[in-house]
């Protein structure tokens, strides 16, 4: 079993630029012994960056460190 038994994601807003999107959200991970809150994409960005390929949006991870790419 994973570390957290419950994940609650509240999407605040989404920025779309062509075939790219950034999802801004508050993510709360909970278990019986701990709770962690992340403000995305600022904290990790793992699920915040999307790319549209052949009409389907795909998660492609944190791209903030790639030079020249701005959203």
- What is the dihedral sign for C-alpha 19, 22, 25, 27? positive
Three-state DSSP state, 39: strand
Prediction pTM value: 0.75
**What tokens appear for 64 in the block?**
């903030």
**CA–CA distance, 47 with 64 (Å, rounded to integer):** 12
Q: What is the pLDDT of residues 2-60, one digit of tens each?
A: 788 999 999 999 999 999 999 999 999 999 999 999 998 888 777 889 999 999 999 98
Cβ neighbours for 56, distance < 8 A, ≥ 6 positions apart: none
- Categorize the per-residue pLDDT at 68 as very low, low, confident or very high, splitting at 50, 70 and 90: low
Alpha-carbon distances, residue 21 vs 14, 31, 32, 69 (angstroms): 7, 30, 34, 12
């Amino acid at each position: 079993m994973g570390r957290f038994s419950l994940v609650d994601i509240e999407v605040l807003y989404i920025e779309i630029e062509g075939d790219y999107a950034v999802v801004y959200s508050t993510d709360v991970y909970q278990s019986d012994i701990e709770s962690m809150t992340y403000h995305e994409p600022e904290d990790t960005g793992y699920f915040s960056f999307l790319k549209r390929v052949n009409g389907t949006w795909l998660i492609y991870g944190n791209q903030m460190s790639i030079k020249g790419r701005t959203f």
